[in-house]
Amino acid sequence: MFHRNEFSELKDTLRSYNLLNNEVVFDVFCSKKNYKTIYPGRYLVNSHMDLNSLVNMLRLGAQKPLNIIFNNTSTIYDLAGKLSYQIEADSIDLLDAFRDEQFYSKNDFNEASIRKLLFLTPMKYTGL
């Protein structure tokens, strides 16, 4: 189920782009479509999209790819700062992920291999 603040934030965002014409209808429609999980990400929404298409896209988490470019980073702190501007993540959360030993062991990485991967070559990443 939705956390109340997540659904409110979604509606606030839709409203700020004039994409939410009738909040009550939206609430009822989301309930009828069994829309329960908000997938964070970047979505391509246009003003001509009908309510059914909008809710289906959000329900499926049909996000659009985001190009991320980072270079000239010498520390994980630089990287976290640059990435936090480009994606919906706090730089502290990114730093925590970069230093997570479980991530390293699960993916057969170590801190040296991550540094080599991230800092020796300017990179462009396209993902969801």
Q: How far separated are the first and last CA of the chain, in Å rounded? A: 23
What pLDDT does residue 81 have?
A: 87
Residue with tokens 């396209």: 126
**For the chain, what are the domain ranges?**
4-60, 66-127
What pLDDT does residue 26 have?
A: 94
Rounded to whole angstroms, the Cα distance separating 36 from 65 reads: 23
Among 124, 126, 107, 116, which Cα is nearest to 76's?
116
**In order along the chain (128 residues), what is the average pLDDT of each group of 10 residues?**
69 89 92 89 85 93 81 78 82 85 79 67 54
What pLDDT does residue 74 have?
A: 73
Rounded to whole angstroms, the Cα distance separating 113 from 110 reads: 5
What pLDDT does residue 68 have?
A: 79
What pLDDT does residue 2 have?
A: 45
